[in-house]
Amino acid sequence: MIAYDAKTGKQLWKSKAVDYKEGHAMTGAPLVANDVVMTGIAGEYGRRGFIDGWDPETNKQLWRRYTIAAQGGKGGDTWPGDTAMKGGASAWLTGAYEPDLDLVYWGTGNGGPWNAEARKGDNLYVESVLAFRPKTGELVWHYQFSPNDPFDYDATEVGMLIGMDIGGAKRKVLAQANRNGFFYVLDRTNGKLLATNPCMKVKWADKIDMATGLPVESEVFKRIRAGGDEEVFPPVLGGKNWQPMSCNPTTKLAYANTLNISWPYQLAKPEYKKGEWDLGINFRSVTLPKNEPHGYLSAINPMTGKSKWQMAWPGQPSMAGTLSTGRGLVFTGASTGEVIAVDADTGKKLWQFQTGAGIIGLPVTWERNGKQYVSIVSGGGGVWALIGDERMAQTPASGSLWTFAIQ
């Protein structure tokens, strides 16, 4: 991690955050909260993830919060033997901060190996959101979305910290369309589950038990645990991948790019090798439906999971984030390079511009001299650069920053 003077660009200090040779990675930006700089570290490759707190003035490491429950401590009994030491729970993305509550929210990734039969138990804090104090890393509450998950249903995209009227009361909530296919609404003061429903096609679970917060595993999942070869919805890419989502307080809808694809899944014997991908499954590519869209821009009711409208993507679905504005617009981008604006209430496409390269980033908005602008980066990359169709092969990968004025 490197600190620079914001005005001059001069390097102030530099600290080694992680050793990639050990199987760690750092893919998200730092988060600054209450005078502490935090970095999230991935543990996908036979390691465990963690979050570090740093003093921004001296680069001294203040604390470390492992994203795997410690043996002998609370939650440590959810891991058999020494499996927690290679348990994953990567902190792939950047967390979020609530100043009024002085809480940082950070999402965690999948467990390792992917074959969950090798790590029987809930595997805390895999695929969870952790709420902790920025000064100390002290854990205040957690919520686990997919205990003992074998499908790579990361929960690393924290979701939205918003206010919602629920049962006649204004609640501070954390709302998230999870990769596992369910939409969750949590009370972000204490982690209590307020609502959860499927927001896309789901075959691995029948429902989420509101009393326990735990998924009720489907017959498909039970056959997989017994060694069967089954088609699973959502796929390894999730029902919604890492890209951020947005909401509009007027329409009371959440906007996300969602996937309509599946994945053939079968367990295999785990073979751990230091610094390598830790799977333990018969890995194959996703299954793209022949007569249906592969993905949508979806306008989702957070309390029911149902979409008021969906805009189908032609060919490869979008992996870009969404931006909602006060004027009732939703901006997003396509894997083939188009940046678009749609009506937040109806989904009608209002504007489109071809950037010349695929978009997987997040549109942002800002103001200067009384005028509102939207900026977005294009440049390709992401999973469709690896497994996309012929349209992706013809899409340039050069990087550009585009800015548009809202008239």
pLDDT at 225: 93
- Architecture of the domain delimited by 2-312: 8 Propeller (2.140)
Site of tokens 């604390």: 63
Active site residues: 152
Strand partners of residue 158:
none
Q: How far is CA 138 from CA 63, 84, 142, 203, in A?
A: 9, 20, 11, 36
Tokens for 201, please give them: 């096609």
Site of tokens 């169709």: 389
Asked, as a colleague might, if the bond just before 234 is cis with ω within 30 of 0, I would say yes
Q: Is the pLDDT higher at 288 or at 387? A: 288
CATH of domain 325-407: 2.40.10
The answer to whether 358 and 336 have CB atoms below 8 angstroms apart is yes
Q: pTM for this structure?
A: 0.94
pLDDT bin (cut points 50, 70, 90) of residue 243 is: very high
Name 60's Cβ contacts closer than 8 Å, sequence gap at least 6: 54
Indicate the DSSP class of residue 262: B
How many of the other CB atoms lie within 10 Å of CB of 335? 29
Q: How far is CA 158 from CA 173, 270, 300, 350, 396, in A?
A: 12, 29, 17, 29, 31
How many of the other CB atoms lie within 10 Å of CB of 163? 10
Kindly report, residue by residue over 17-58, the tens digit of the pLDDT.
998 888 889 999 999 999 999 999 998 788 899 999 999 999
- Mean of all residue pLDDT scores within the chain: 93
Strand partners of residue 111:
88
For residue 53, give the 3-state DSSP assignment: strand
Cα(260)–Cα(376) distance, rounded to whole angstroms? 25
Degrees, nearest 5: CA angle 50-56-60: 65
Domain boundaries, the chain: 2-312, 325-407
Site of tokens 């804090």: 125
Residue percentage of the chain with pLDDT more than 90: 80
